[in-house]
């Protein structure tokens, strides 16, 4: 058996690749964590992720964050979620992008309007209803 190295012990190596509901759930939860809950701010009980941090790069940052957030909508569509729900997710991403396009000040409303968390909640609700075997008890 090959010995594990630091290179292949990374975060992305632990994510499942399949198209089943449980694998999708793990991938979207990891993406939401990356975008919304990467670092805890000392003194506050809130976390920030790449979504807020990228808002400090005018123009390019919010667009990159929106593209990463669109991955959640992509996975939702692949799961077979209704087009109306996917459109709602796209609206959340659009609002987040528009707020982030305000240079430097856009990070403040983006800190409170967490589109990726909202979209994750929509996907989890769908998965719990239509794929109950993938349900995970949150601690």
| Dist CA 57 CA 59 (whole Å) | 6
Q: Would you state the pLDDT for residue 88?
A: 96
Mean pLDDT of all residues in 63-73: 94
* Residues 82-109 pLDDT 10s: 999 999 999 999 999 999 898 888 888 8
Buried b vs exposed e over 58-96: b needs ≥16 C-beta within 10 Å? eeebbeebbebbebbbebbeebebeeebbebbbebbeeb
* Residues 102-123 pLDDT 10s: 888 888 888 888 999 999 999 9
Of the two residues 26 and 138, the one the predictor is more confident about is: 26
Residue 8 has pLDDT above 50, yes or no: no
The domain ranges of the chain are 20-131
Mean pLDDT of all residues in 13-38: 86
| Dist CA 120 CA 28 (whole Å) | 7
């Amino acid at each position: 058996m090959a010995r594990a190295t630091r290179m292949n012990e990374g975060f992305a190596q632990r994510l499942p690749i399949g198209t089943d509901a449980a694998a999708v759930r793990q991938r979207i939860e990891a993406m939401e964590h990356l975008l919304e809950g990467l670092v805890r701010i000392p003194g506050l009980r809130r976390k920030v992720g790449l979504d807020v941090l990228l808002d400090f790069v005018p123009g390019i940052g919010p667009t990159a964050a929106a593209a990463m957030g669109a991955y959640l909508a992509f996975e939702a569509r692949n799961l077979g979620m209704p087009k109306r729900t996917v459109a709602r997710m796209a609206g959340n991403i659009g609002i987040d992008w528009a707020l982030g396009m305000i240079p430097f000040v856009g990070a403040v409303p983006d800190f409170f309007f967490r589109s990726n968390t909202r979209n994750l909640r929509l996907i989890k609700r769908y998965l719990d209803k239509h794929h109950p075997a993938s349900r995970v008890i949150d601690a």
